[in-house]
Every structure is written in C-alpha cells, then in structure tokens.
Structure 1
Amino acid sequence: MQKNPGRTYLLARLPIGMSMFGHGLDRIPKLQAFSSHMVGQFSKSMIPASLVSLFSSALPFLEFLTGILLLLGLFTRFACVLGILIMLALIFGSSLIEQWENVFTQVIYGAYFALLYSFAVYNRYSIDGRFTKEPQH
C-alpha cells in the first residue's frame, strides 16, 4: 500500500494544472491572433465562424482558470469537470476537421481529468484539502 497517496495525487494534479495554465497564459496575450487562426481552421467545417470565434475567445480563459484551480487545489472536482467539458468541445471540433492526432491527445487529457476527479479523496495538499494529514496505515 502506498504510504502517502496525498503526495501522489499532488504530483498528478500539478502537471495537468501547469499544462492548462500554460495554454491559457500563452494564448490570452495573443487572443485575436489565436481566435483568427481557429476561425481559419474551421472555415470548411459545419460550425459557423461566429461560434468558432466565440469559443476560441473564451477557451484561453477557461484553460487558464482550470490550470489555476488545479495548481492551487481549489474546487478541484469542478476544475476536473471543466477540463473534461473543454476536452469534449475540443474533441468534437478536432473530429469535424479530421485532426485525429489532436483527438488522441485530447482523449488522454480527458482520461487524466477523469482519474483526478475519481481520486479527489486524496487531494490533501491543496486549498480544498487544507493540507490535512495522511491517515496512518
């Protein structure tokens, strides 16, 4: 049996939190260029350009928020659900434009969020967990 599942959960939560934080942080300053690129990518899909523009303008802020919440361990289950919802939207979009490599990566992210959600009981080193002590085995 693992001696400190809380630390293991922290070590699993931080990388995906940093990834989401980094995605948002990188895209927010160049939001217009990012959104224009996304609209161009989806120009031949069935999704209206106005919807792509709206989603691509919101996406970096949602990624940033998800990342911050996961890094802090604040509202962790909500952050995991938000991450899964983001991945579902990205999987749908990537499928429509046949970017199968992206779909694979997004599915992995989705599974990662689901595992974090499932094991959130071990989220002890966080604001949610208030740095509680590990149970003695």
Structure 2
Amino acid sequence: MVYTALVKRLDPLIEEEVTLELEGIEFTGFAFICPYKIEEGKSYPVSIGFTILNQLMIHEIQEEKKEIERIGLGYEYYIRGLLHQDTIDAGLVFVDDDEYFSDYPELMDKYVEIKVDRISIEFLRTTTD
C-alpha cells in the first residue's frame, strides 16, 4: 500500500534511519530504498514493510487491536493487527515481502502480534521524479 509520509527526522549518523509520520502514526525505520534526496519536513510516497533478522515471533491476541509499539530505545517493534495472506493491518498496512505469513494459515484473518527487528521503508518514485 502506498502512503504519503511526512519526514520528521533524519539521523545525522545513521544514513538509513528515518522517523516518519503516516496517518498520525509516528515511527522510526530504515529506508532501504531511497532513489532521491529526502528532507525533513517534506512528504513523500512510501510503502512499508518489516525486517526479521532471526525467527518470526507471531501469536494470536484476544483483543481486536491495531497498533505499532516501539520496544525500548532500539529499532524493534511489536506490530499488532489483523493478519492477511501477505499483509498485516495495524492501522497501517505492512507488506510481507518475504512470505513469512504463508507459514501460518491458521492465523489468517485473526488478530496477531508480531515482533520485528525493524520497520523497512521504501521511498517510491513518482511520475514527476
């Protein structure tokens, strides 16, 4: 899904680290694809996903909750929301590019919590770029 994201902060030391606001939700992630220069205070089209470095931790939750919760001061997040075949709807829709969710057919269309090592951000080209 394509969103318009406001760049809230660019880290001066870690080039890929960016803090965005999408639909009132603020989070820090890594811009793994950024085909142009971005600036704080400006908005850009993006899609969002997640990165799992070791093993996916996923389980069903009883509440119908959609949220993104940062774990401590690092880059890990809990993403809670409705699981679909290749996305999780946590108020923002995260794409499962690595097909992790296909291993959990019993959790489809249920509310789940996943722990991710970081949120991945792809800045998209527009026709005017």
TM bracket (short chain): under 0.3
Higher strand share: 2
Flag the structure with larger Rg.
1
TM-score by length of 2: 0.25
Higher helix share: 1
TM-score by length of 1: 0.24
